[in-house]
């Protein structure tokens, strides 16, 4: 079953060894490490300014309430307290936090004051802010602020929230539905009519807390009318524009700096109320302010991710061919719409069909308000949800038909000779080779051997069963072609900017609008520029993350940096070379058409020895003593790149999980990830991104969940309750690559930041379900905690007999609460 | 206010401190040793790990007053100023960091691990780092880095012995 | 988060320490390593007026051989317990369970006395000293461990009473032992833990001692299982049958990581496993 036609593996998919002289493709060690491994890092909380004051936020302990009287007098009277402000105090200037993605014309978009004024709608929503001489005094004063809350009914459950007569999160809106967004292609009803196989499932994407290791922090200073805001943000450029819009501070008077940022994973792709308030405080008080959140504060107040109920139907023929797919989603917005809250689930609309061909598809998503922390982008943003849905369904289909899960995928996936391929959801996949990635993964995984072991354990009735999970995924990266964003009503474009400065000494400064926070742009961008310009890697410095240094950009998220920002840099380098070529021709007294550029040197075709290096040309341009007619004395160039299409990384992930049927404990035995991310600039960085992505995707499958009680209290506010896995909890991953270059950009790159996260969650859950299939289990809700696994087993045992009459493993297989163990 | 005398990275500091002052805040806010970051408030994440008299501790869960009379080594005290410590070098070579926020604590915890066990297996490394969370790397390269540093440090110890 | 204000004293004599607690009039709190207390202070779940640091008291230090028992000083860190030759020889169950507590950095600071005084039923060590019929030695008296843990996070210690150490009988020297800890991630608290000692004679189980972690507001002994396995075969089948009674008399909590029903089930499975491991079966 695991055999793939050998001709499928085209030669081009084996990653080649890079040219020894080439920087692109080299496993360069990262430039940025130097400060990070020595503790010389500029985290926002490390920044000290003269006269700096400290800020602390008082947050609602109640999920839904009217705010009555707030008495802050005692807090104001405390030693070292400079000021206390409530939402009412700031109501005239704090504005409403922006949502940049009105996904439908009639989307319900409530006001979102940075500090609540009349009503609080989730636990953790700010109700007052204290400014004090130090962080201890600020926190102490919070306890002296007295707030009267008049509790209102808490809306916690999404399905109940959309019922008729439900309590409302925003009473004035008359509904908890923010929007319903629909997409349809082909004839779904026809595809399902008389379909020999229909699989219907309800899956829940639990709510997650992104948990970047660096908690959020903001420092803001106002000098006259000039404002500088440092923030642990992924998006200094977007933040600058949005802060200007919200506060009315002119954009050109505001500088936003993202210094060293300790991870984001989407959580720092946001315009936060705390950022707005720090700006207002610096303006009001005329002194710089700093706010740093604690983890237990952040768990409530950093936007959450996922939280979606999926109702899925798949229609197929008896031979396994998919006829159609229907997707109906409820997506939890939380209490407010933040920067891209409503759009996140819709990114999945184009991905539910995955790598498969089908005749018809329909997608409906309803955004729902609840009294919980707002949701927004979290690593993968919409695509993990979709990939989970389709990859779980493919395993269910295989089971229904008695086919190997690899085989059922093979019967449906786009074959490598069919690219470019227009998918049912309207995207054009430019390149890929699912056969090659799958074959490589099967080999590395020793698929057949593990299947044999699985059969053996089943025969023996081993209390520890083995399951194998498959996930053959693709995703859309390179967000995004501006015309597509426009058609989806997004509030901005999806281009990226880069500029290249060749200094008189021949050294190079690259300025990028991408804003790295751990991805290693300072290294990878230098590799691209070094190659393109023919200068040593060490001669290139990459600048980013400060709007006064890098004035134009769309920042870092959605695996977009390389496929969009890297290409912008590539184009800017080419512009430098074009200018330099003209200058070199002039210096060499040759025709521009006769100048060849290679290895950093401009030579005259057919005239050996006649050459000028880029450095020489740069110096001559700087001196400007002898320029070609009309030549501006500079080689500096910039480029803004708007991608023509998304890019589509793909891969095959295989997971082997050992499931203890007595306790429900799941241990990952092995994990193989073969990813095709197109051309690779730095394989070391790519591998690291895959590793980290896998850890996060596995964590969704096994460990993490933001849990609310019936009153809307978050019960996982600390890391003792919200379980982020440690080294001891994760397996060693086997990673490898195949390589089909993207055809829509000159670097051939596709993006890698989210691949591991997107692919791994369904691989793990498929493995768990596969292990338990003989017991009659066909799903375990995420996270697959030991108790949930045990309950799934217990309930399956209470319910129907095992499918296909297969014998229950082992006498006294340790199930149920009565018997104990085998 | 109690008076404390603490040696941090080879420098002695005598200070009056509030009893509730966390060692992590003492290092960061009073001494300007901001190389040690804080990542949680329940001692789970380990970002703030330093060595206290040679043993790893989480500086967010130690009061400055409890550090009175003790020696603290932070990430800033490693290496000799010009050369990296083998552990720092190994983290760089093996790409054992991405955002780098957990890195100071991870490096200090790794040093403690090797003090206990100069030649740990991968499994022992993973178990030894159970109190340090990383959100970027999936830990695989951290394990490699610790293994590499262990080899380098053992070899340089052997070379030193042979030299004597 | 940042603790609320408190006073701090580090007395150098036991009498000064007791006086300081007395003066604090029930608003004092003893701090040893602080590894349980610090998160509570930082989350402002505890507001003591005075912290009495007992790290300077010689009475709380060291591990003494008292002939037929060991006296382990309250300030002995987990790190020291794991490595101590006397503990390894006479109370290896304690060493094994201590090695599962939190993580290395916490074990460097955290103390045995602190873990017992904190009286967290999810802590690993209370069940061990309960299984070993230990005796808590305080500044005022000696309290059998079975009377020491009175409720959730509550012990028999009076507000002005200081835990000096715990006395563990050497009677269990040479018994088979095992601590079976079940948790979701390496760092997480035990959902259920089973501390187990067995004495084997001629391939049979002569006696067993079993303490359960996180099966109620206090650690509990699985007396029914102890009775059921005594004088029986050291076989997995026998252990499984006996472990059926493990949840008897427990009142496990339901929380984020497990329901009471699941905990009762786990207690059965894990007790059988702990017995098997302790007996080498």
Residue of C104, C106, C118 to mutate, testing the B interface (most B Cβ within 10 Å of its Cβ): C104
**Subunits with at least 3 CB pairs below 8 A relative to chain C?**
A, B
Under DSSP, is residue C266 helix (H, G, I), strand (E, B) or coil?
helix
Is residue A279 domain-shared with residue A319, that is, in the same domain? no
Contacts of C103 in chain B (CB under 8 A): 46, 130-132
Residues counted in chain A? 822
Q: What is the CATH number of the domain that holds A277?
A: 3.90.1170.50
Q: What is the CATH number of the domain that holds A501?
A: 3.30.365.10
Residue A14's pLDDT band (cuts 50, 70, 90): low
How far is C191 from A722, CA to CA, in rounded Å? 15
> What residue in A sits closest to C270 (Cα-Cα)?
A663
Residue B74 has pLDDT above 80, yes or no: yes
More confident of the two residues A478 and C83: C83
Cβ contact (<8 Å) for A723 and C185? yes
pLDDT at A798: 87
Q: What is the pLDDT of residues A531-544, one digit of tens each?
A: 999 999 999 999 99
Is residue A655 domain-shared with residue A763, that is, in the same domain? yes
Is residue A532 domain-shared with residue A670, that is, in the same domain? no
Instruction: Please tell me the class of the B3-77 domain.
Output: alpha beta
Q: Does a structural domain hold residue A811?
A: no
Is residue A332 domain-shared with residue A429, that is, in the same domain? yes
Residue B82's pLDDT band (cuts 50, 70, 90): confident
Cβ contact (<8 Å) for C262 and A715? no
Measured between CB atoms, which of B42, B60, B131 is closest to C104? B131
Contacts of C4 in chain A (CB under 8 A): 140, 143
Is residue A744 domain-shared with residue A774, that is, in the same domain? yes
Q: Does a structural domain hold residue A4?
A: no
Domain locations along chain B:
3-77, 86-163
Q: Which of A229, A258, A292 is the last residue of a domain?
A: A292
Q: Which of A641, A665, A681 is the last residue of a domain?
A: A641
Q: How many CB atoms lie within 10 A of CB B70?
A: 18
The residue-averaged pLDDT of A659-665 equals 98
Looking at domain B86-163, which CATH architecture does it have?
Orthogonal Bundle (1.10)
E strands, C80-191, are 135-138, 142-144, 149-151, 154-155, 163-169, 176-182
Q: How many CB atoms lie within 10 A of CB A209?
A: 25
Residue A15 has pLDDT above 80, yes or no: no
Measured between CB atoms, which of A37, A263, A691 is closest to B141? A691
pLDDT at A9: 47
Structural domains in chain C? Answer: 7-53 (3.30.43.10), 58-171 (3.30.465.10), 175-279 (3.30.390.50)
Domain count within chain A: 3
- Tell me the HSE value of B47 on the side-chain side, using a 13 A CA sphere: 27
B132 and chain C: CB distance < 8 Å anywhere?
Answer: yes
Sheet holding C63-65, edge to edge: C63-65, C69-73, C163-169, C135-138, C142-144
**Phi/psi of residue A502, nearest 5 degrees:** -100, 110
pLDDT at A13: 65
Cβ contact (<8 Å) for C273 and A821? yes
> What residue in B sits closest to A754 (Cα-Cα)?
B136
Q: Does a structural domain hold residue A161?
A: no
pLDDT at A608: 85
pLDDT at B159: 87
Residue A816 has pLDDT above 60, yes or no: no
pLDDT at A810: 32
The residue-averaged pLDDT of A329-340 equals 98
Residue A18 has pLDDT above 80, yes or no: no
Q: Which of A641, A673, A691 is the last residue of a domain?
A: A641
Q: Does a structural domain hold residue A453?
A: yes
**Phi/psi of residue A467, nearest 5 degrees:** -125, 150
Residue A822's pLDDT band (cuts 50, 70, 90): very low
Residue A802 has pLDDT above 60, yes or no: no
Cβ contact (<8 Å) for C108 and B57? yes
Measured between CB atoms, which of B41, B42, B107 is closest to A37? B107
Measured between CB atoms, which of B102, B129, B137 is closest to A688? B137
Cβ contact (<8 Å) for B19 and C104? no
How far is C179 from C193, CA to CA, in rounded Å? 7
Is residue A252 domain-shared with residue A131, that is, in the same domain? yes
Residue of C103, C114, C183 to mutate, testing the B interface (most B Cβ within 10 Å of its Cβ): C103
Is residue A657 domain-shared with residue A636, that is, in the same domain? no
The residue-averaged pLDDT of A440-451 equals 98
> What residue in A sits closest to C192 (Cα-Cα)?
A663
Query: Which residue's structure tokens are 């109920």?
Result: A309
| CA distance readout (Å), A162 to A206, A346, A382, A719 | 18, 19, 21, 32
Q: Are strands A126-132 and A53-59 parallel, antiparallel or unpaired?
A: antiparallel
The residue-averaged pLDDT of A127-134 equals 98
Is residue A101 domain-shared with residue A147, that is, in the same domain? yes
Residue B79's pLDDT band (cuts 50, 70, 90): confident
Residue B162's pLDDT band (cuts 50, 70, 90): confident
Measured between CB atoms, which of C3, C43, C187 is closest to B20? C3
Contacts of A294 in chain C (CB under 8 A): 1-2
Residues counted in chain C? 281
Contacts of C8 in chain B (CB under 8 A): 2, 19, 63, 65
Cβ contact (<8 Å) for B131 and C105? yes
| CA distance readout (Å), A363 to A69, A312, A388, A648 | 46, 9, 15, 20
Q: What percent of chain A has pLDDT over 90?
A: 93
Contacts of A232 (CB under 8 A, 6+ apart): A43, A44, A214, A215, A216, A217, A218, A258, A259, A261, A262, A268, A517
Report residue A444 as tokens: 């590395």
In Å, how far is B131's CA from the nearest CA of chain C?
A: 5
| CA distance readout (Å), A780 to A201, A202, A709, A764, A793 | 12, 11, 21, 11, 9
A49 and chain B: CB distance < 8 Å anywhere?
Answer: no
pLDDT at A814: 25
Q: How many CB atoms lie within 10 A of CB A71?
A: 13
Single out the residue of A509, A565, A562, A498 nearest to residue A535, CA to CA: A509
pLDDT at A16: 59
Residue ranges making up the domain that contains A118? 44-152+216-292
Report residue A746 as tokens: 């000159």
DSSP 8-state class, residue A549:
T
Q: What is the pLDDT of residues C182-230, one digit of tens each?
A: 999 999 999 999 999 999 999 899 999 999 999 999 999 999 999 999 9
> For chain A, what is the mean pLDDT?
94
Q: Which residues of C228-247 are buried (b: 16+ CB within 10 A; e: fewer)?
A: bbeebebbbebbbbbbbbbb
Is residue A681 domain-shared with residue A769, that is, in the same domain? yes
How far is A348 from A377, CA to CA, in rounded Å? 12
Is residue A432 domain-shared with residue A543, that is, in the same domain? no
Cβ contact (<8 Å) for B98 and A696? no
Cβ contact (<8 Å) for C188 and A787? no
Cβ contact (<8 Å) for A817 and C261? yes
> What residue in C sits closest to A138 (Cα-Cα)?
C2
| CA distance readout (Å), B9 to A178, B21, B61, B65, B89 | 56, 19, 19, 18, 19
Residues from A in contact with C at Cβ < 8 Å? 135-136, 139-140, 143, 294, 296-297, 662-663, 665, 703, 707, 715-716, 718, 720-721, 723-726, 728-729, 785-787, 790-791, 814, 816-822
**Omega before residue A480 within 30° of 0, cis:** yes
Is residue A605 domain-shared with residue A515, that is, in the same domain? yes
> What residue in A sits closest to C264 (Cα-Cα)?
A817
Residue of A35, A36, A217 to mutate, testing the B interface (most B Cβ within 10 Å of its Cβ): A36
Report residue A84 as tokens: 């206390």
Is residue A235 domain-shared with residue A105, that is, in the same domain? yes
How far is A598 from A577, CA to CA, in rounded Å? 10
Q: Which of residues 42-101 of B touch A (CB under 8 A)?
A: 42, 44-45, 47, 74-76, 78-79, 84, 88, 91-93, 95, 97-101
- Where does A667-740 have alpha helices with state H? 683-702
Q: Which positions of chain C have pLDDT values less than 70? A: none
Q: Does a structural domain hold residue A8?
A: no
pLDDT at A650: 98
Q: What is the pLDDT of residues A244-272, one digit of tens each?
A: 999 999 999 999 999 999 999 999 999 99
């Amino acid at each position: 079953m695991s055999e793939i036609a050998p001709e499928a593996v085209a030669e081009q998919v084996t990653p080649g060894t890079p040219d020894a002289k080439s920087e692109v493709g080299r496993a360069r060690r990262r430039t940025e490490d130097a400060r990070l491994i020595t503790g010389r890092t500029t985290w926002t909380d490390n920044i000290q300014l003269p006269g700096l004051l400290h800020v602390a936020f008082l947050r609602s302990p109640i999920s839904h309430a009217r705010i009555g009287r707030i008495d802050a007098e005692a807090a104001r009277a405390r030693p070292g307290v400079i000021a206390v402000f409530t939402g009412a105090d700031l109501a005239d200037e704090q504005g409403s936090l922006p949502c940049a993605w009105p996904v439908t014309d009639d989307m319900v978009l409530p006001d979102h004051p940075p500090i609540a004024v009349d009503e609080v709608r989730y636990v953790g929503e700010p109700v007052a802010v204290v400014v004090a001489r130090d962080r201890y005094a600020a926190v102490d004063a919070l306890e002296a602020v007295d707030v009267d809350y008049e509790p209102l009914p808490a809306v916690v459950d999404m399905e109940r929230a959309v019922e008729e007569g439900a309590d409302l999160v925003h009473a004035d809106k008359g509904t908890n539905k923010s929007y319903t967004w629909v997409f349809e292609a082909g004839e779904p009803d026809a595809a399902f009519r008389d379909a020999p196989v229909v699989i219907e499932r309800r899956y829940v994407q639990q709510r997650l807390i992104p948990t970047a290791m660096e908690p959020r922090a903001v420092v803001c200073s106002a000098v006259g009318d000039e404002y500088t805001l440092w923030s642990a943000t992924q998006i200094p450029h977007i933040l600058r524009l949005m802060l200007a819009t919200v506060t009315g501070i002119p954009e050109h008077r505001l500088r936003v700096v993202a210094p060293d940022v300790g991870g984001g994973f989407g959580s720092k792709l946001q315009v936060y109320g705390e950022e707005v308030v720090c700006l207002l405080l610096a303006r009001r008080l005329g002194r710089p302010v700093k706010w740093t959140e604690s983890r237990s504060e952040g768990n409530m107040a950093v936007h959450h991710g996922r939280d979606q109920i999926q109702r899925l139907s798949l229609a197929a023929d008896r031979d396994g061919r998919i006829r159609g797919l229907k997707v109906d989603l409820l997506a939890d917005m939380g209490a407010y719409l933040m920067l891209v809250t409503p759009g996140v689930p819709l990114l999945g609309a184009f991905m539910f069909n995955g790598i498969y061909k089908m005749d018809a598809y329909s997608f409906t998503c309803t955004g729902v308000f609840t009294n919980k922390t707002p949701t927004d982008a979290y690593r993968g943003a919409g695509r993990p949800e979709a990939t989970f849905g389709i990859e779980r369904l493919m395993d269910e289909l295989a089971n229904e038909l008695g086919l190997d899960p690899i085989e059922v995928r093979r019967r449906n996936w786009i074959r490598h000779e069919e690219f470019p391929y227009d998918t049912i959801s309207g995207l054009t996949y430019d390149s890929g080779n699912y056969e090659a990635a799958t074959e490589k993964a099967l080999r590395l995984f020793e698929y057949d051997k593990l299947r044999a072991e699985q059969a053996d354990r089943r025969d023996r009735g081993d209390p520890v069963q083995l399951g194998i999970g498959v996930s053959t995924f693709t995703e859309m990266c390179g967000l995004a072609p501006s015309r597509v964003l426009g058609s989806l009503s997004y509030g901005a474009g999806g281009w990226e900017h880069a500029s290249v400065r060749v200094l008189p000494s021949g050294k190079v400064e690259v300025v990028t609008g991408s804003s790295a926070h751990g991805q290693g742009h300072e290294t990878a961008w230098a590799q691209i520029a070094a190659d393109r310009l023919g200068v040593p890697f060490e001669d290139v410095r990459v600048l980013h993350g400060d709007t006064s240094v890098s004035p134009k950009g769309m920042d870092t998220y959605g695996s977009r940096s390389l496929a969009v920002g890297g290409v912008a840099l590539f184009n800017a380098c080419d512009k430098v070379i074009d200018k330099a070529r003209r200058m070199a021709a002039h210096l060499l007294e040759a025709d521009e058409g006769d100048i060849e550029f290679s290895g950093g040197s401009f030579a005259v075709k057919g005239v050996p020895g006649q050459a000028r290096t880029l450095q020489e040309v740069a110096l001559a341009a700087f001196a400007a003593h002898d320029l070609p007619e009309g030549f501006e004395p500079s080689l500096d160039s910039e480029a803004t790149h708007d991608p023509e299409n998304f890019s589509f990384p793909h891969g095959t992930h295989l997971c082997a999980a050992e499931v203890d049927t007595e306790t429900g404990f799941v241990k990952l035995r092995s994990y193989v990830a073969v990813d095709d991310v197109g051309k690779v600039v730095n394989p070391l960085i790519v591998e690291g991104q895959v590793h980290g992505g896998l850890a996060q995707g596995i964590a969704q499958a096994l460990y993490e969940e933001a849990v609310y009680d019936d009153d809307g209290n978050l019960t996982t506010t600390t890391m003792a309750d919200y379980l982020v896995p440690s080294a001891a909890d994760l397996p060693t991953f086997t990673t490898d690559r195949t390589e089909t270059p993207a055809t829509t950009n000159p670097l051939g790159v596709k993006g890698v930041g989210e691949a591991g996260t997107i692919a791994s969650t369904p691989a793990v859950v498929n493995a768990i379900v596969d292990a338990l299939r003989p017991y009659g289990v066909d799903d375990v809700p995420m996270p697959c905690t030991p108790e949930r696994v045990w309950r799934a087993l217990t309930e399956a045992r209470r319910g129907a007999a095992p499918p296909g009459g297969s014998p229950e493993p082992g006498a006294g297989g340790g199930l149920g609460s009565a018997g104990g163990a085998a | 206010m109690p008076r404390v005398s603490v040696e941090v990275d080879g420098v002695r500091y005598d200070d009056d401190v509030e009893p509730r002052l966390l060692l992590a805040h003492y290092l960061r806010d009073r001494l300007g040793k901001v190389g040690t970051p804080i990542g949680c408030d329940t001692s789970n994440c380990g970002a703030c790990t330093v060595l206290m008299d040679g043993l790893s501790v989480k500086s967010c869960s130690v009061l400055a007053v409890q550090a009175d009379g003790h020696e603290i080594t932070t990430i800033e005290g490693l290496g000799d100023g010009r050369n990296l410590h083998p552990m720092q070098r190994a983290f760089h070579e093996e790409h054992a960091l991405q955002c780098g926020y957990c890195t100071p604590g991870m490096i200090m915890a790794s040093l403690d691990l090797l003090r206990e066990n100069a030649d740990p297996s991968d499994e022992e490394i993973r178990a030894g780092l159970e109190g340090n969370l990383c959100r970027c790397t999936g830990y695989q390269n951290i394990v490699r880095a610790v293994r590499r540093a262990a080899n380098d440090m053992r070899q340089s110890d052997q070379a030193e012995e042979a030299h004597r | 988060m940042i603790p609320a204000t408190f006073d701090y004293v580090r007395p150098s004599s036991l009498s000064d320490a007791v006086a300081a607690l007395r003066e604090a009039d029930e608003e004092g709190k003893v701090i040893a390593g602080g590894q349980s207390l610090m998160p509570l202070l930082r989350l402002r779940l505890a507001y003591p007026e005075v912290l009495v640091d007992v790290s300077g008291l010689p009475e709380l230090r060291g591990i003494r051989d008292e002939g037929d028992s060991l006296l382990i000083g309250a300030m002995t860190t987990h790190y020291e317990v794991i490595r101590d030759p006397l503990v390894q020889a006479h109370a290896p169950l304690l060493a094994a369970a201590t090695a599962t507590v939190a993580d290395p950095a916490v074990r460097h600071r955290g103390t045995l006395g602190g873990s017992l005084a904190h009286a967290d039923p999810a802590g690993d060590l209370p069940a061990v000293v309960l299984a070993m019929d230990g005796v808590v030695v305080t500044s005022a008296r000696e309290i059998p461990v079975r009377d020491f843990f009175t409720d959730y996070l509550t012990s028999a210690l009076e507000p002005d009473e200081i835990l000096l150490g715990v006395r563990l009988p050497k009677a269990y020297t040479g018994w088979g032992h095992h601590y079976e800890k079940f948790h979701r991630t390496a760092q997480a608290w035990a959902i259920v833990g089973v501390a187990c000692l067995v004495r084997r004679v001629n391939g049979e189980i002569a006696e067993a001692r079993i303490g359960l972690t996180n099966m109620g507001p206090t650690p509990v002994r699985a007396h029914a299982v102890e009775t059921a396995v005594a004088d029986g075969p050291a076989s997995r089948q026998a252990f499984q049958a006996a472990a059926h009674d493990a949840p008897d008399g427990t009142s496990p909590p339901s929380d984020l990581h497990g329901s009471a029903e699941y905990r009762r089930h786990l207690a059965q499975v894990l007790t059988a496993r702990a017995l098997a491991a302790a007996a080498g079966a």
